[in-house]
C-alpha cells in the first residue's frame, strides 16, 4: 500500500497534476474544433513512408462498417523522431504542451514499469530493461462526433493495445470506453484527474500472462461528442521481449516465445 502511495506522490511530483491534464485535454479539443482546411494541413499521406502519422478519418475496413466521421491525429512524441509537419501549430500552445506531456510521460513510464516489477516482487529494472532506453511513444488523438445511431456505430472496434503500456487521457465529461471481462462489457467511469494505465500486449508477454492486455472498445453517444488521447509506449526497436525468467517455472510454464519487437522498422 505504501509503495503505491509513494508512486502516486511521485507522479504529482513530476507535474502530472489535474490542471496540467486539463490543459492537454483543452488543446486536443481546440485542435479538433478547428475548420477542416486547417486540420487537413496535417493530413496523413497514405502513399509515403510516414505510415499512420498525421490527421485523418478511419479507413473503411469492412462492408458492414458505417462511417461516423471519427477523426484522429497520430504523432510520434520522441523528440529525435518527431515529424513536425504533423504537429499542429494551432492552438498556439499545442506543441509546447505536448512537449511537456512527453517529458512527464517518459518519467511516468519508468515509475509504472518499476511499480509493476515491485508488485511481483521482482528487481526494479526487469521490465525497464526489456523496454530499453529507446522506448517509443506514439500519441493517438481521437475525436468521436455525436452519433444519431449509437446502436449501429462503434467509435473503435474491440481490440487490445499492441504497446507495452498505454496512457489514456479520457474526456472529462463524456463516457464511451468499455472493457471486456467474462464476455461482458464494463463502462470505464470518468475520473477527470486520472490518467488511465492500460496494460498492452507486450507487458502481458513480459509478465508471462500475469498481467492481461484487456480487450476494450469505444461506443458512440447520441447526445455528446467525445475526445481522448492515447499514448502508446513501445519498447525500443532493438529490444527483444519475452517472459521474464523469474516468472517462468513449473507451476507457470512459459506462455510466449521471445519475440523481436513487433514494430521493428526495416
Phi, psi of 2 (to 5 degrees): -60, -40
Which entry of ligand AKG, Fe ion, none binds 140, CB below 5 to 8 A by partner kind? ligand AKG
Measured between alpha carbons, how far apart are the two ends of the chain, in Å? 44
Kindly state the DSSP code that residue 249 receives in the 8-state scheme. S
List of residues 6+ apart from 45 with CB closer than 8 A: 54
If the CB atoms of residues 216 and 261 are measured against ligand AKG, the closer one turns out to be 216
SS3 89: coil
In the complex, residue closest to Fe ion by CB: 161
Instruction: Count the site residues for ligand AKG by CB under 6 A.
Output: 12
Which entry of ligand AKG, Fe ion, none binds 77, CB below 5 to 8 A by partner kind? none
**Nearest distance from C-beta of residue 177 to ligand AKG, angstroms:** 4
**Beta strand residue intervals within the chain, DSSP E:** 54-57, 71-76, 136-144, 154-159, 165-170, 177-181, 184-187, 196-199, 216-219, 226-234, 240-241, 259-260
If the CB atoms of residues 71 and 161 are measured against ligand AKG, the closer one turns out to be 161
Segment interacting with ligand AKG, rule: CB under 6 A, options 36-44, 62-70, 146-154, 169-177: 169-177
Q: Using CA atoms in the order 182, 227, 152, 223, what is the torsion angle rounded to 10 degrees?
A: 110
If the CB atoms of residues 142 and 207 are measured against ligand AKG, the closer one turns out to be 142
In the complex, residue closest to ligand AKG by CB: 228
For 132: left if phi > 0, alpha if psi spans -120 to 50, otherwise beta; the answer is: left
If the CB atoms of residues 82 and 217 are measured against ligand AKG, the closer one turns out to be 217
If the CB atoms of residues 96 and 158 are measured against ligand AKG, the closer one turns out to be 158
Among 105, 113, 116, 168, binds ligand AKG (CB under 6 A): 168
Interaction of residue 142 with ligand AKG, rule CB under 6 A: yes
Interaction of residue 239 with ligand AKG, rule CB under 6 A: no
**Beta 177-181 vs 165-170: how paired, if at all?**
unpaired
Interaction of residue 207 with ligand AKG, rule CB under 6 A: no
For residues 179 and 216, is the Cβ–Cβ distance under 8 A? Answer: yes
Interaction of residue 140 with ligand AKG, rule CB under 6 A: yes
Among 161, 171, 201, 239, binds Fe ion (CB under 5 A): 161
Query: Which residues sit opposite 168 in a β-bridge?
Result: 196, 230
For residues 246 and 170, is the Cβ–Cβ distance under 8 A? Answer: no
Interaction of residue 230 with ligand AKG, rule CB under 6 A: yes
If the CB atoms of residues 25 and 208 are measured against ligand AKG, the closer one turns out to be 25
Among 53, 71, 110, 161, binds ligand AKG (CB under 6 A): 161
> Which grid coordinates belong to 1?
500500500
**Nearest distance from C-beta of residue 228 to ligand AKG, angstroms:** 3
Residues that bind Fe ion (CB under 5 A): 161
Amino acid at each position: 500500500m505504501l509503495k503505491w502511495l509513494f508512486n502516486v506522490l511521485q507522479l504529482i511530483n513530476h507535474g502530472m497534476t489535474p490542471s496540467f491534464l486539463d490543459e492537454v485535454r483543452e488543446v486536443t479539443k481546440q485542435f479538433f474544433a478547428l475548420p477542416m482546411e486547417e486540420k487537413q494541413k496535417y493530413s496523413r499521406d497514405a502513399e509515403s513512408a510516414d505510415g499512420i502519422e498525421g490527421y485523418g478519418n478511419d479507413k473503411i475496413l469492412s462492408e458492414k462498417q458505417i462511417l461516423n466521421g471519427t477523426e484522429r491525429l497520430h504523432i510520434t512524441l520522441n523528440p529525435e523522431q518527431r515529424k513536425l509537419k504533423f504537429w499542429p501549430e494551432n492552438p498556439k500552445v499545442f506543441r509546447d504542451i505536448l512537449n511537456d506531456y512527453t517529458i512527464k510521460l517518459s518519467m511516468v513510464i519508468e515509475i509504472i514499469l518499476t511499480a509493476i516489477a515491485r508488485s511481483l516482487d521482482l528487481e526494479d529494472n526487469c521490465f525497464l530493461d526489456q523496454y530499453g532506453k529507446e522506448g517509443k511513444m506514439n500519441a493517438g488523438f481521437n475525436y468521436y462526433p455525436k452519433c444519431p445511431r449509437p446502436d449501429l456505430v462503434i467509435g473503435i472496434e474491440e481490440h487490445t493495445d499492441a504497446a507495452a503500456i498505454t496512457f489514456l487521457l479520457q474526456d472529462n465529461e463524456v463516457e464511451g470506453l468499455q472493457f471486456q471481462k467474462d464476455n461482458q462489457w464494463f463502462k470505464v467511469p470518468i475520473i477527470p484527474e486520472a490518467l488511465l494505465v492500460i496494460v498492452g500486449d507486450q507487458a502481458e508477454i513480459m509478465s508471462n500472462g500475469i498481467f492481461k492486455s484487456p480487450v476494450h472498445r469505444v461506443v458512440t453517444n447520441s447526445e455528446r461528442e467525445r475526445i481522448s488521447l492515447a499514448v502508446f509506449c513501445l519498447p525500443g526497436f532493438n529490444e527483444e521481449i519475452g517472459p521474464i525468467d523469474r516468472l517462468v517455472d513449473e507451476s507457470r510454464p512459459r506462455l510466449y516465445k521471445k519475440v523481436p519487437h513487433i514494430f521493428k522498422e526495416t
